[in-house]
Amino acid sequence: MSTLQKIAELEAEYAKTQKNKATNYHLGLIKAKLAKLRRELIEPSGGGGGKGGEGFDVAKSGDTRVGLVGFPSVGKSTLLTKLTGTFSEAASYEFTTLTAIPGTLHYRGARIQVVDLPGIIEGAKDGKGRGRQVISAARTCNIILVVLDVAKPATHKILIERELDGFGIRLNQEPPRIMFRKKDKGGINFQAFVPQTTLDAEAVTAICREYKIHNADVHLRCDATVDQIIDVVEGNRKYMPAVYVLNKIDQISIEELDIISRLPHCVPISAQHGWNLDELIDKVWDECKMIRIYTKPKGQIPDYTAPVILHSHHPSVEDFCNRIHRTLISSFKYAWVWGSSVKHQPQRVGKEHILADEDVVQVVKKSG
Ligand SMILES: Nc1nc2c(ncn2[C@@H]2O[C@H](COP(=O)(O)OP(=O)(O)OP(=O)(O)O)[C@@H](O)[C@H]2O)c(=O)[nH]1
Ligand SMILES: [Mg+2]
């Protein structure tokens, strides 16, 4: 039986099993088995079924990478062209774009790489179309713009999320507060620090056993689900911000626009007419937590044209150093900082100091 058939069979079994406390244990095991099979699909272990597994080769450039993901003909290529000026063919037929096409958007001194991806179809996660490549490319981005046709946003949104989810991408979710650590002996040490509605020691032990893990610490600091436990055990999940771009609003009424604009994480636009693109770019900036830090070489004025971009609302001086060069921190002595994060201008700080947007930093290295 092929992996896809096994997946279909388990999905059918899951669907027909009643969902209640008594079957929880059994359902958890089905989910773990499914997760293992899906992983085989994503990273085929040598031989058969591996073709098309690699993502598109797009040289990473710029400070932030934005991926455009969506069904065919929703307007991804039109959006890329409008945002970056890079031409990506747009046409009224489906699957116009067949490979990843990057463009660059310059905004507030940052270089934002926008990658137009081929349209994905339902079943992409199970190897249909170029879905696997599209989704692997999506994993390399800082943020995903899920582009939706405003005429059918809700159904498409769910389908796309399901495809990405099957590939280990979790949109707009925090990693679960679960500590999981494999050990050599001692069995499964299960501790729940908050009351659990669905999980208990027995269910967690069973999932671990499914993964042939017999000794581990599992500490739950959230009301965890089976899926979250599996995510932590699998370990290769990617938690990414996403914005739902509702395109083609030129096709709907003001009343309809008013309703859809209230959806969380959504930005309504018209790529063709260039409507509301500023709000979209601002949203990307916020969701990617982009902070600009200017460098000041000793005895020179700061370079305000090329900020170092950090992706954190609370970046430390150490994060800043690591962004410049991975060895810089080992020779770090202290830094002078000008800007809103310090009281005195300049102020001498250590590597733990938290920087703010548009601070100026001068690193002083140890001598010798
Ligand atoms: N009315 C309207 N049409 C749009 C808008 N944006 C794009 N289109 C049209 O929608 C069609 C598809 O646009 P594309 O940009 O090729 O869509 P795509 O998502 O890149 O499609 P694939 O590459 O096939 O996945 C084209 O005919 C565009 O002119 C918009 O804001 N409003
Ligand atoms: Mg396209």
Residue 126 confidence (pLDDT) = 65
Query: pLDDT for 149-181, tens place per residue?
Result: 998 878 889 889 988 888 889 999 999 999 999
Distance 256 CA to ligand 2 centre (A): 26
Nearest atom, ligand 1, residue 70 CA:
19
Q: In what order do the strands lie in the sheet with 242-247?
A: 101-107, 110-116, 64-69, 143-149, 242-247, 266-268
Look at ligand 1, atom 7, and give the residue with the nearest C-alpha: 75
Residue type, 248: K
Q: Burial of 307 by CB count in 10 Å (0-12 exposed, 13-18 middle, 19+ buried)?
A: buried
User: Which CATH architecture group holds 291-365?
Assistant: Roll (3.10)
Structure tokens at 96: 């116009």
197: left (phi over 0), alpha (psi -120 to 50) or beta: alpha
Residue 145 confidence (pLDDT) = 97
Q: Say which ligand is closest to the CA of 79.
A: 1
Pocket around ligand 1: residues whose beta carbon is below 6 Å from it?
Answer: 70, 72-78, 90-92, 94-97, 118-119, 247-248, 250-251, 270-272
Domains of the chain by residue range: 3-50+176-234, 64-173+238-287, 291-365
Residue 127 confidence (pLDDT) = 62
Residue 51 confidence (pLDDT) = 39
Residue 195 confidence (pLDDT) = 94
Tens place of pLDDT per residue across the chain (368 aa): 788 889 889 999 999 988 887 788 888 899 999 988 888 876 654 433 333 445 677 777 889 999 999 998 999 999 999 999 988 888 777 777 778 889 999 999 999 999 998 888 776 666 666 777 888 888 899 999 999 999 887 888 988 998 888 888 999 999 999 999 999 999 999 999 999 988 889 889 999 999 999 999 999 999 999 999 999 999 889 999 999 999 999 999 999 898 888 888 999 999 999 999 999 999 999 999 999 999 998 889 998 988 999 999 999 999 999 999 989 999 999 999 999 999 999 999 999 999 999 999 999 999 86
Structure tokens at 16: 């027909």
Fold classification of 64-173+238-287 is Rossmann fold (3.40.50)
Residue 125 confidence (pLDDT) = 67
Dihedral sign, Cα of residue 320, residue 322, residue 327, residue 329: positive
Contact 289, 311 (CB under 8 A): yes
Query: pLDDT for 210-249, tens place per residue?
Result: 999 999 999 999 999 999 999 999 988 999 999 999 999 9
Packing angle of the helix pair 24-42, 226-234 (nearest 10 deg): 40
Distance 271 CA to ligand 1 centre (A): 8
Distance 101 CA to ligand 2 centre (A): 9
Nearest atom, ligand 1, residue 269 CA:
31
Site to substitute for ligand 1 among 98, 272, 275, most atoms within 8 A of C-beta:
272
Cis? peptide before 346, omega within 30° of 0: yes
Look at ligand 1, atom 9, and give the residue with the nearest C-alpha: 75
Longest Cα–Cα distance in the chain: 72
Residue 46 confidence (pLDDT) = 44
